[in-house]
Amino acid sequence: MKIVTVLGARPQFVKAATVSRELKKQGLEEVIVHTGQHFDRAMSQVFFDEMDIPHPNYNLEISGLQHGAMTGRMLEKVEEVLLQEKPDYVMVYGDTNSTLAGALAASKLHIPLAHVEAGLRSFDMKMPEEINRILTDRISNILFCPTTTAIDNLHQEGFRHFHTQIQLVGDVMLDAVLHYKEKSKRFSKILQTEKLLGKKFVLATLHRAENTNDPHRLQSICEALNEIHKKTTVVLPLHPRTKSYLQANNISLNVHVIEPVGYFDMLMLLHNCDLVLTDSGGLQKEAYFFEKYCITLRDQTEWVELVHEGVNSLAGADRNTILRDAELAKHKKVTFNPALYGQGDAAKKIVAALKKS
């Protein structure tokens, strides 16, 4: 069996690495296509070597375009690869433009399609990611879902009546955290370089367009972070796009700003922080894996089970709500159910299902 995997961003490579290892173990051939959607200096030779991630067989180098142009160019180039490779399956991850382009290319060539992280919904149709998720799910042959909530979403959308396999496999991000957790302690020096050893600190990230592109939301979030920083150090790896919007709108950010960090450094920051504030989807779950309470700087989340479990609060961009939730988090006693996202064997279940299909 030959599988073509289409990826476009560093987090997707980390997730896919868990499945790639299992594919190799089971003797299945994998061809990896990197669309180039996110140009990332961190994805150097060291990134692939240290993390034991397979190098892409194809790098399409498509980036820096508007959504339509980018997706269309990817669709054209991925189709060329598929016609040459003639795979038995195409596999895509998550909700990027690369995900949708890979899915469309496979569907139009009638090649079976597998979607990892299927069934997630934020119910915010203004998010490009939401459009990509919904369309990719609808044209997939196998939907690998991380949670029962994801399966419920698909059932509510009528997927029981489609010719689609729906599989509950758990979350590949949990597989990745378990695999890299100990390794990150050896490779990461972030606590030493940023003088955070033994210190209490809050980890924050801020990059989503709904926050950075809206000066009022950005101002409100920054005011809250500045206020929290007065009592507890707020460590914020600053995304270049966020930095440019702060400068353009003359918004001050008086926290412990650091350069964007790699995966190992992020794991170490998560492991040692006291609280997480983020508008990232992935970091909400990783906070949970490290048993850290998370305040989400968004109005909705795909990971609604975290809110239901009482380990995540949706604060949006309101300064007072963020400050209130940060204060309440100090006194919250929460339990972290490790079974919420499976047992760390999602990759094994995915490969087993592919072999049976």
Q: What domains can you pick out in the chain, each with its CATH number?
A: 2-171+342-356 (3.40.50.2000), 182-340 (3.40.50.2000)
Q: Quickly list H helices, the chain.
A: 10-25, 45-51, 67-85, 97-108, 128-138, 148-156, 172-187, 190-193, 209-212, 215-229, 240-248, 263-272, 281-289, 304-308, 319-329, 346-356
Catalytic (active-site) positions: 207
CA atoms within 13 A on the CB side of 313: 19
Query: What averages of pLDDT result for each successive group of 10 residues across the chain (357 residues)?
Result: 95 94 97 87 72 92 91 97 98 97 98 98 92 98 97 96 96 96 94 96 95 97 98 95 95 96 94 97 95 96 94 97 96 84 96 95
Cβ neighbours around 165 below 10 Å, total: 16
**Nearest one of 62, 16, 3, 6 to 175, comparing CA atoms:** 16
pLDDT reported for residue 337 = 78
Place of tokens 């992935």: 282
**Nearest one of 25, 74, 32, 36 to 53, comparing CA atoms:** 32
* pLDDT per position as a tens digit, 200-222: 999 999 999 899 999 999 999 99
The pair of structure tokens assigned to 233 is 């150090």
Distance between CA atoms of 58 and 68, rounded to whole angstroms? 22
Kindly report the three-state secondary structure assignment for every residue of 226-263.
HHHHCCCEEEEECCHHHHHHHHHCCCCCCCEEECCCCH
Q: What are phi and psi of 91, to 5 degrees?
A: -120, 135
CA angle 52, 261, 273 (to 5 degrees): 105
pTM: predicted TM-score of the whole model, two decimal places: 0.92
* pLDDT per position as a tens digit, 131-184: 999 999 999 999 999 999 999 999 999 999 999 999 999 999 999 999 999 999
pLDDT reported for residue 17 = 95
Distance between CA atoms of 287 and 180, rounded to whole angstroms? 15
Q: Which amino acid is at 9?
A: A
Distance between CA atoms of 108 and 283, rounded to whole angstroms? 34
| Contact between residue 135 and residue 105 where contact means Cβ atoms under 8 Å apart | no
pLDDT reported for residue 42 = 67
CA angle 62, 66, 72 (to 5 degrees): 60
Cβ neighbours around 206 below 10 Å, total: 26
Distance between CA atoms of 346 and 349, rounded to whole angstroms? 5
**Nearest one of 152, 163, 239, 240 to 204, comparing CA atoms:** 239
The pair of structure tokens assigned to 2 is 């030959």
